[in-house]
Chains A and B, each alone.
Chain A
Amino acid sequence: MSRLLGALLTASFLASPLQSQDSVIARLRRQADSLLSAWRDAQRLAALADSLEQVRATAGSDTIAVGGLRIIVNPSPLPLREAAERAWPVIDSLYGSAAEDLPRYPYIFRAVDPDSSVRRTVLHVGVEVPWDLDVRATTSLLLTTVTPPSLDAALADWLGSALRPTLRPHDEGAAVFIQLVTAPSEAVRRCFLGDIARCKDVLQIGDSTGLLARWYVTPAEREALVTGSFTDYFARGATAPTLQNCRQHRDDACIALLQLLPPGSLPRPLGQAARLVLVREALRAGGRDAYRRLVASPNAAIEARLSSAAGTDIDSLVARWRNDVLAARPRPLSLPWWAGFAAIGWTALLGFCALRSSRWRL
């Protein structure tokens, strides 16, 4: 009997840590379940509070409707109607038939006095705007904060920004032209000279493998990239000797270093403006439904989406993009005819004064 009792006691003693662990898990699980239940209640309340806050924040506000734009704003001197009348055609021309969806995403602004030192109430809904903006600045505000309808993450990632309209598309094209002629990349240069395959490479359309070799074609470019942009990054630790080798024109060392870069950090030879211009061109070519086609298949390759949007094959689209960019070449700086004479005259006058001067005598 005593043996049996002893065995039972020993077994219960040995099992006690496991039992206590079980009880801890059970206790924590109960706690988690209780928290989850409380969270669900809180979520419901928060949803209600958010909608009430939205009603409260927009109570007494004006709603301005211009085309598909809906702007909810408190009464203020902001010239929103005029700005919306300017912005709407630009927005409509970019998104085409998809702009019909915009009433679902109204702007909610809170116009505030920018010069007042009175403490403002906490903002829960919308965007604060100073009420002294002029029409141009307000138009720009509407264009830069419009919600692109159904823009997916893949397209936004590739673009590097949201696709929004611009008041000055020519400036964008001019910026891309400057990149085309100044980017230290042989691939970009070949694109500038008309090699459409290289244009696709530098625009990151299609095959995304081996980008390093396709973007930075020559050893000199790779060395310049390492020494110009990543010296600090590679100068310490195990990569320092490889960096030295790269500086001594060892291309294999430069390639090895560039392959060590974190994903996505290899600088693109062309900035995001180039891709924006390409998408704008596709939308222009594809007509009013082009944007809808562009965002219709978020899982498709960018190349296919652009082709579908433009209603043409990708090579033709890229060729059109290139022509647009070349046409947007910035105007060279031109001086008025009299500027040269004025410069020479001033030079002569100052030279004469200098030659005529004598030592100061007091």
Chain B
Amino acid sequence: MASLKRWVLVGLTACAVLALAYLPPRGVKSSDKSVFVGQSPQGTRTRQHAQALAEEWRNADAAVRLLEDRQQVKRDFVRASPTIVFRGATLPPHSVRNIETVMDSVWRGLGLGETKVRVTLVVALQQPSGPADSPTPLQDRVAYLTPDSTDRTTCIASLPAGPYWTLVIQGKRDARHEGFGRFAQWLQAGLGPCAFYAAYGTPGRPVQGWLAARNWDVGLYLGSHGIAGERFSSLDLLGNPRFSGFWDAVYALPPATVACLAGRWSGCSAAVLAGAADEATIPIPNVILVERRWWRVQRLLPGERYLGDVARTVGRDGFQSFWSSGQPVDTALALALKRPVGEWTADWERAFVRPIRLGPTPPLGGMAIALAIAVLALAIVAGTASRRQVR
């Protein structure tokens, strides 16, 4: 016992020496000092108002251009695939032929030939900024003009080429090294809703209203490889689940979208059928403007290919019956899928991502320790109780 006391004394003395050596005899600053975050400058109210007007003008101007294109563009009846028109520069005939060849192969890849609804693709080449007396025209979003009562057989897609594809199209950048496959993917993705119109005609009123209410987020891409090739879908933008950024991105999504990622049927059903109950009015002309960062406003991931995958699963006739159905969307979709919408969608989601785990997820080791402590506490209590003697 005397030996133990000595060692305890030595230990305490050592601690005191260490404390004297390492702890300064003054107050220290907190290590978790808050980081100063400065504000980003904002435009004045009048500047914001001007920007909002510019945005409205861009949309109106895009609609006018699409309507004018629909009136003016002469169809190329020799080719079955979309007519391509270039705006912003005149291209040499061989460049146009090359691009038409790529489009022909894209069209065949989608399984399309002669279609009742013809597609015209207007490729807007990047131009130097114009005069300062008007806002820059729409250059960062794809715009579509769908068939309506004034022209039931033409769907127009206006695709801004941006600086990179402008250089490639004009032959100023060597496309050989960049791969013409990516150019084909870009063209295919640019067809957007027009590809559905070409393949299946004008949708029935419920489907049209449903898609309009959600700005076509589930019908942006008819192809089977992912909107930017095999390597890209909106799911990839969530990042890696091992990092916290993934969960920040997940919880920024609507609740139904998150539930669907977790494999819950009800969540998938809600995510797919959002907007189906709305009484959306279809404007004439029906101009669809796809957000530049369309993946940020999706209610289903990777929603851009959802209808394309449905079409491939149920076959042409099945999808056609859904597409042109006059029944409510949930009924028509369930009939086409021959399964409840939520159940099918949850399976579809699982093909892209392993269901995420929602709620607390304690590590296995932590659970084992907690259980062991609980068992120990119970054993001690039981042992104490069994030895208790009443005098």
Contact = CB atoms under 8 A, between A and B. Distances in A.
B67 A24 contact: yes
Contact of B151 (A21, A38, A45, A46): A21
A239 interface: yes
Interface residues of B, number: 50
Contacts of B174: 209
Contact of B60 (A32, A120, A259): A32
A39 B57 contact: yes
Interface in A17-53: 17-18, 20-21, 24-25, 28-29, 31-32, 35-36, 38-40, 42-43, 45-46, 48-50, 53
A236 B46 CA distance: 49
A112 B37 CA distance: 11
A28 B60 contact: yes
B36 A20 contact: no
B39 interface: yes
A233 B237 CA distance: 13
Contact of B150 (A21, A120, A122): A21
A361 B5 CA distance: 11
Interface stretch (A1-9, A65-73, A123-131, A276-284): A123-131
A112 B134 CA distance: 38
Contact of B67 (A28, A35, A45, A49): A28
Nearest to B61: A32
A124 B46 CA distance: 12
A36 to B, nearest CB: 6
Nearest to A22: B71
A35 B56 contact: yes
B50 A124 contact: no
Dominant SS among interface residues on chain A: helix
A20 B44 contact: no
Interface in B280-330: 284-285
A322 B68 CA distance: 60
Given A46-B44, A127-B38, A39 B50 contact: yes
Nearest to A53: B44
Interface in A96-136: 112, 114, 120, 122-130
A24 B44 CA distance: 35
A344 interface: no
Interface string A228-239: 000001101111
Contacts of A336: none
A236 B178 contact: no
Interface of B: 1, 3-4, 34, 36, 38-47, 49-50, 53-54, 56-57, 60-61, 63-64, 67-68, 70-71, 133-135, 149-151, 164, 173-174, 177-179, 181-182, 225-226, 229-231, 284-285
26 contacts: A24-B67, A25-B64, A25-B68, A28-B60, A28-B67, A28-B285, A29-B64, A31-B60, A32-B57, A32-B64, A36-B135, A42-B50, A42-B53, A45-B46, A49-B45, A50-B46, A50-B47, A122-B42, A123-B42, A234-B231, A238-B229, A259-B177, A260-B181, A262-B178, A263-B164, A362-B4
- Which 6 residue pairs spanning A and B have beta carbons closest together? A237-B230, A128-B38, A42-B50, A49-B46, A32-B60, A35-B57
